[in-house]
A and B are shown apart, each in its own frame.
Chain A
Amino acid sequence: MRRLSSVFYLALLACLVTVCPATVLGADPVRGVTDTEILIGQWGPQTGPAALWGAVARGTGVYFDLVNEEGGIHGRKIKYFLRDDGYQPAKTKAIAKEFVESIGVFGVASGVGTSTGMAARDYLMENKVPWVGPSTGSKHWTQPLQKYLFAVYPRYSNEAFLLTQYTVEKLDKKKIAIFYQNDDYGKEGMEGVKEYVDKAGMKLVAEIPVEVTDSDLKSHALKLKESGADAVILWILPKHAAMILGQAKAIGYEPQWVASSTLSDAPLMFKLTKGLWNGVVYANFLSTESPLAKKYMEAQKKFAPSEQYTGIFFLAGFVFVEPMVEGLKRAGRDLNPETFVKAMETIRNWNDWLGHDCTFTPEDRQGMKSVYLAKCGPDGNAVKISDWLTYKGK
């Protein structure tokens, strides 16, 4: 009996390994496009540690409501599916499969997170699902180039390059230090800063890393003061930004602070720092003062009146998806992934949105490479201090 079962198990395993079943996919003409509807999905963490960023996905929902109210796209309304992945890649991939198989979406809009998006990327690309505007500045979206994936979020390194350039050339600061988060986010920022500094033949006076979990920044502040930097570039989380400004002030060190776009919510930062944010220069990639932004916030009052978070992340849900809607409009009534990609590639220096100079070409899927700089005013208001600056490198 025992021998029988062991022989049996071996045979069974051989069977299982050799069995290589094929799946049969449904063969409808264009997935996710009907006479009256275009189906679009998005994942975003509504629960768990990254839930704050979930506002992006809800912003997109309001944006689609607005597009539908204005008549939709070539007689079709957008039907939007928002799924919570709790920032867990395993769930994201399940959602991607659900989108393609159970719902049959035409495309995917934005989606928060690098690891979550990476779990779904290859699957979406194999199934020719157009995906526009993943909401991180990761290089994985554009390198290697994916035919159906269009990145909108400017790369962190490009942004850092532009910020440093401005600090040195326009603000006339020569002793630059960087205070960065010790992970990929911070390092990509550092990469851009170094790129400029090397090009200008300068040297950073200090590179101070901070861990995400650090909660005492006194020694960091002292190191910055010792370095004698007259401008400090911040590539960190909002809580750390608030802490370092407080600590530096306490030891009598007040350089020009220069902050990344993740710290671009000036009113919020002003409140967090109890006014110390006054005078900080920061980068931004969506124009909060454009008439469009006003229109979008009115849409929010109408379609999502209970929304509590209406800051930069919520608006990001609009900006990442605007090029997608433009692409859908340009693709015309005859919509399928191929016509959509062709239409997206006709978008050149497009400016009818919250961002700037959106350009997609067959060789370059990084849609936006521009930021503008702003300064925090004396009562927490944002004062635009530069035009759009565009990264000219590769």
Chain B
Amino acid sequence: MDMKRGYYEDIELCRTWTSLFGLILLVCLFIATPFIIGDYNLYLINLIAINSIVAIGLNILVGYTGQISLGHAGFFAIGAYACVLSMLKLGLPFVVALPVAGFVSAGFGFLLGLPSLRLEGPYLAIATLGFGMAVTQIISHSEFTGGHMGLEAPKMSLGPFVANTSSQQYAVIIAVAFMMTVAAVNLMKTRVGRAFRAIRDSEIAAEAMGINVLKYKTLSFAVSAFYAGVAGALMAFALEHVSAGSFNLILSITFLAMIIVGGLGSIMGSILGAALLTYLQIKLQVIQEAPIIGPLLLDLSRSYFTPEGLPNIQSIIIGSIMIAIVIFEPYGVNGIYLRFKRYWKMWPF
């Protein structure tokens, strides 16, 4: 389907007028969205966009470079705290603090990348897991970071423009998410992206081809952490408060689940996975309000389960959807998307 016959064809972002048209349509949709839907749904989209940024970053590390991380909540936390602290203590404006958060996080990513040269598979998983947990422990015990009570985030402001409401934050978050997505797509088409994939497919072969494994592995960690850091900073503003407790192991695993469900080694998959899991997590909270199914589940829960029954049904539903996707759709949600795309490309033939 996507046959590419030359280097320049490969690096083009929009190969056909159709895809350019589709892109313009998408952008118009982004701009129109806040006028169409309410604050609650906008907040949901904000969360999806933020999680998409983390998922893209994590996918660069896991899907493209073949490393693993169970500590991305740690980078997420570092980004959130770095942004809030640099605004509160150093008085930096938001536009500066956001990249600062990304780079601080990337620095830690680089450091964590160093042991990855020797560690593989489950060992790397444990090392990153330890990192993620250590970060929250340190943050929650330090006076500087506000301890367990956390910190209140200052207002997100771009010069005179202060983003208070969900729709104003939406404008900022979507713009950043869009930039980060385009950057990731482009990065994967450069020498760096190809080196990442070569390392994933075979480290020895990559080294034999002259790829500096040390450099690219740590770079992959740093880039991935940069994405998580920026997303964490945005999250601090979406929540208006940061505290260590929210960046736990479950969050790290949720990020990993997003890219596995979405499709490893694909930018589109990261976004789809983040969107699906975020949507389910938020929407399943209100499953009892759903028509037909809601009352049915409520009855079931009342007669057979403990009082906590219904909320736990939500976990069961999320779990089964994830299992079903992994079993029936090895390429994740992205696989479904690709098939759909191919079908419409050929339509009506």
Contacts and interface: CB of A to CB of B under 8 A. Distances in A.
Contacts of B42: 23
Contacts of A184: 147-149
Interface in A62-118: 83-91, 93-95, 97-98, 101-102, 114-115, 118
Contacts of A139: 149
Interface string B133-173: 00000001100000111101000001001000111101110
Contacts of B152: 118
B156 to A, nearest CB: 12
A226 to B, nearest CB: 25
Interface in B147-204: 147-150, 152, 158, 161, 165-168, 170-172, 174-175, 178-179, 182
B120 interface: no
B337 interface: no
A200 interface: no
Contact of B40 (A22, A87, A102, A183): A102
Contacts of A85: 285
A22 B168 CA distance: 8
Contacts, number: 149
Contact of B307 (A88, A118, A138, A304): A304
B167 A83 contact: no
B250 A48 contact: yes
A389 interface: no
Interface string A23-43: 101000000000000000000
B141 A182 contact: yes
A105 to B, nearest CB: 13
B167 A23 contact: yes
B171 A1 contact: no
A5 B308 contact: no
B308 A54 contact: yes
Nearest to B149: A184
B171 A114 contact: no
Contact of B13 (A2, A46, A84, A304): A2
Given A17-B175, A46-B308, A183-B141, A115 B245 contact: yes
B28 to A, nearest CB: 10
Given A46-B311, A182-B141, A183-B147, A94 B40 contact: yes
Contacts of A101: 38-40
With most chain A CB atoms within 10 A of its CB, the pick from B44, B170, B182, B311 is B311
Interface string A47-61: 111010010001000
Interface string A314-330: 00000000000000000
Contact of B171 (A19, A25, A95, A123): A19
Given A16-B31, A88-B246, A306 B307 contact: yes
A49 B240 CA distance: 23
B238 interface: yes
A251 interface: no
A85 B315 CA distance: 12
B281 A91 contact: yes
A187 interface: yes
A90 B182 contact: no
A90 B307 contact: no
Contact of B311 (A25, A84, A118, A138): A84
Given A90-B239, A98-B286, A118 B308 contact: no
Contacts of B140: 183
B230 to A, nearest CB: 15
B34 A83 contact: no
B147 A307 contact: no
Nearest to A182: B141
Interface in B245-277: 245-246, 248, 250-251
A7 interface: no
Nearest to A88: B246
A23 B140 CA distance: 36
A386 B250 CA distance: 44
A16 B176 CA distance: 10
B161 A20 contact: yes
Contacts of B172: 17
Given A16-B175, A91-B281, A51 B149 contact: no
21 contacts: A8-B24, A13-B175, A17-B172, A21-B167, A21-B171, A22-B167, A23-B34, A46-B311, A47-B311, A47-B312, A47-B315, A49-B248, A91-B282, A93-B43, A97-B43, A98-B285, A114-B148, A114-B150, A138-B149, A184-B147, A185-B148
Given A16-B30, A16-B171, A46-B308, 6 more contacts: A5-B13, A12-B27, A12-B178, A114-B150, A115-B150, A118-B152
Interface of A: 1-2, 5, 8-9, 12-13, 15-17, 19-23, 25, 46-49, 51, 54, 58, 83-91, 93-95, 97-98, 101-102, 114-115, 118-119, 121-123, 138-140, 182-185, 187, 304, 306-308
Pairs A-B, 9 closest by C-beta atoms: A115-B243, A46-B311, A21-B34, A84-B311, A184-B148, A118-B241, A97-B40, A16-B175, A119-B239
